[in-house]
Structure 1
Amino acid sequence: MSQDETSDTQPGMHSPICGTSDLRNQAHAQAYSPRRFFDQLLKTDAPVVLDVGAHRGESIRHFKSIYPDCQMYSFEPDPQNFAELEKVAAQFGTTAMCVALGEKEEVGHYYRQSISHLGGLLPINADSTDSLGYARQATNEEIVVSKTTLDNACVLLGIAQVHILKIDVQGFERQVLEGATAILQHTDCAVIEIGLYDFYGKTNSFVDVVNLMQAAGFSLWDIAKLSKNPKSLRTDWIEVVYRKDSAQPRDRPQP
């Protein structure tokens, strides 16, 4: 038996087995469904969902499969992605805007990549040590885009209450939240992807998100997803779910 193998350790674990956490994880996987998860957080079957960093409409399909009657508003700055997003929005009868969201209203710069979902308002770091190879060949094609705040967008669209705020903006989380201080006071829960790696340069996104969400009256509800790096053996990014401290889900009959 090598030094990396012990009788009380399983692959992917950093500490010895203790207790029944593995069994609980298995039970969780059997009990979980997206609808059951969000029903713990919401009072409505027709939530208002804001999709910041909508790419090509994947979240429209996702949330419409969970809540067919949800109202969705999608925001995507890249015109190429937006052309595809607009088709999906039309198919499902939702609203889409071709705009970047951040901390202030201004002309912004978007860095388009050959892998479309990697584009964002921050360029990919060519010297990334966490990258599995793409960073060295990143195109970082800079285009000019319109940029506003989520607060301003909500005023423009007449959005007064948000049930789910989804943010996936490739390292730009802090700026989006800084431009959303008003609407966060009327938001029930948020799903935020946070980068922990150096793919978009040095970032303090994790600490920034924690501080901003706590200041807005939210508590961490779940770490719903994560992506492991096979080279560094660390975690590249996590998807966290926050719940407003004052939010109370409605009573639902137990199955």
Structure 2
Amino acid sequence: MQTAYRRLLKLMPRLGLQVTDLGPGTAVVSRRGGRIRIPLGPGADVLARDNGRYTVAGAGADAWVVRRRASRVQQDENAGQSTTVRLGDSGASLLLDPAAGTDERKLQLAAAEYLCHQHVAGMLELYGVNCVFDVGANRGQYARRLRRFGYTGRIVSFEPTAEHFATLEKAAADDPDWWVYPYGLGREDTTSTIHTGWNTMNSLLPPSDYGKGRYGRFAKSDTEEIQIRRLDSMMEKALDGIDTPRPFLKMDTQGYDLEVFAGGGERVAEFVGLQSEVALLRLYEGSPPMTEAIGVYEAAGFGITGMYPVTREADTGRVIEFDCVMMRAEAAPRKS
């Protein structure tokens, strides 16, 4: 004898609904049809849309990854080939696709970028940061990553070029604690000319001979007149309404970071940490070498907590630039 439950399941398709029976007393009902059950292992299945573009790869004990592939041929060639690498005793594992090993440099840089953002998020939480100065914001990539990694405090972004500022302004429109300003920051309040057309590498400095040899984009550039403000002149407004400010300074200004830092004057002592792009192989004429930049930051009371390669030469493996994260140890919370 049919139960009321079974009769109901049979009625659903007549109402334009798709039913996937998962077993006694359990079913999935959806408006869009074509679901298929993919077995993972004992006691575990996954439902996916039945378009033949999914493959399942093991990712350790009792864990699987369901991936969407461009074609069935690609699916069949790659199914089950991913490997899982344990990251020490951290409890984390890294899932490696077979294609990941074909470009060691790309894998290393991608991993470094992720670890840098994770580290910064950890430092912001540890030091109780409640305002991040995002200098050289471009289109807002850094601020969006901060939000994805869980930072909920104020972000104050500075981007001087008109095209990128327009994109930045739209990105921040729905985030009331993300403020944006159409300025560059430097040693003095002034106007200056910036090289544009270099995407994320627009700079107030001209390219070096090494930079020209590495990046074809430097062969031609447009220029734009921009407004420059001192960091200390912007701090009062940026920190307005925060009872006990604990700011963090991120600089990514294509060789101009020390000029930004100099514009902070004595107020750099208020920052509990900073992040700066420092160069071993200089892409811009007049930019400071890494040792000089780090020396200035250390003299101001900051100590290195992380160094992450940003770019490397493909033919030699040499690091060109690092993201350097530094914190003021005396500002760390003291355990009772």
How does the TM-score come out when normalised to structure 1? Answer: 0.77
Inter-partner Cα distance in structure 2 for 1:217 and 1:65 = 29
Deviation at 1:170, TM superposition (A): 0.2
User: 1:134 — aligned with what?
Assistant: 216
| Pair 174,64 (structure 1): closer, same or farther in 2 beyond 3 Å | same
The answer to whether the Cα contact below 8 Å between 1:120 and 1:170 also exists between their aligned partners in 2 is yes
In structure 2, C-alpha distance between the alignment counterparts of 1:216 and 1:240, rounded to whole Å: 15
Q: Identify the match of residue 187 of structure 2 among 100, 103, 114.
A: 103
**Alignment partner, residue 16 of structure 1:** none
Counterparts of 1:42-121 in structure 2, within 5 Å, are: 42-43=125-126, 47-93=130-176, 94-113=178-197, 115-121=198-204
Most deviating of 242-251 and 81-90: 242-251
Going from structure 1 to structure 2, the CA distance change for 1:44 and 1:184 (only over 3 Å counts) comes to same
The alpha-carbon distance between structure 1 residues 110 and 235, as it changes in their structure 2 partners (threshold 3 A), is: same
- In structure 1, the partner of 2:122 is 39
Work out whether residues 116 and 308 of structure 2, in 8 Å CA contact, stay in contact via their aligned partners in 1: no
Unpaired segments ≥5 residues, structure 1:
1-22
Separation of aligned partners in 2, 1:128 and 1:36: 31
Tell me the residue number matched to 1:147. 228
What do the CA deviations read for 1:169-210 (whole angstroms, capped 9, x no partner)? 000011011111333211111111112223212532413321
Match of 1:189 in 2: 273
Mapped partners of 1:208, 1:36: distance in 2: 24
Counterpart of 1:30 in structure 2 is 92
The Cα shift of 1:65 comes to 1.5
Matched residues, number: 226
Root-mean-square deviation (Å)? 2.9
Residue 143 of structure 2 aligns with an amino acid whose one-letter code is I
Asked if structure 2 preserves the Cα contact closer than 8 Å seen for 1:192 and 1:239, the reply is yes
| Distance change in 2, residues 1:250/1:61 (3 Å) | farther
- Indicate the residue corresponding to 2:42 in structure 1: none
Larger radius of gyration: 2
CA contact (8 A) 1:45 1:70 kept: no
Inter-partner Cα distance in structure 2 for 1:77 and 1:246: 33
Gaps of 5+ in 2: 1-84, 94-114
What is the alpha-carbon distance in structure 1 between the residues aligned to residue 300 and residue 247 of structure 2?
Answer: 15
2:136·2:157 contact (CA, 8 Å) conserved in 1? Answer: yes
Cα separation, partners in 2 of 1:37 and 1:28, compared to 1, 3 Å: farther
Matched position secondary structure for 2:139 = coil
Task: Name whichever of 200-209 and 66-75 sits farther off.
Answer: 200-209
The runs of 4+ residues in structure 1 deviating greater than 4 Å are 23-29, 31-37, 43-46
Code of the aligned partner of 2:220: A
- For residue 123 of structure 1, report the CA deviation from its aligned partner: 2.1
Identity of aligned residues (%): 21
Aligned-partner Cα distance in 2 for 1:105–1:133: 31
- The residue aligned with 1:15 is none
Q: 1:202 to 1:107 in 2, by over 3 A?
A: closer
Query: Which residue number corresponds to residue 51 of structure 2?
Result: none
Residue 210 of structure 1 aligns with which residue? 294
Structure 2 CA distance for partners of 1:33 and 1:96, relative to 1, 3 Å: closer
State the Cα distance separating 1:165 from its structure 2 match. Answer: 1.4
Deviation at 1:214, TM superposition (A): 1.5
Match for residue 238 of structure 1? 322
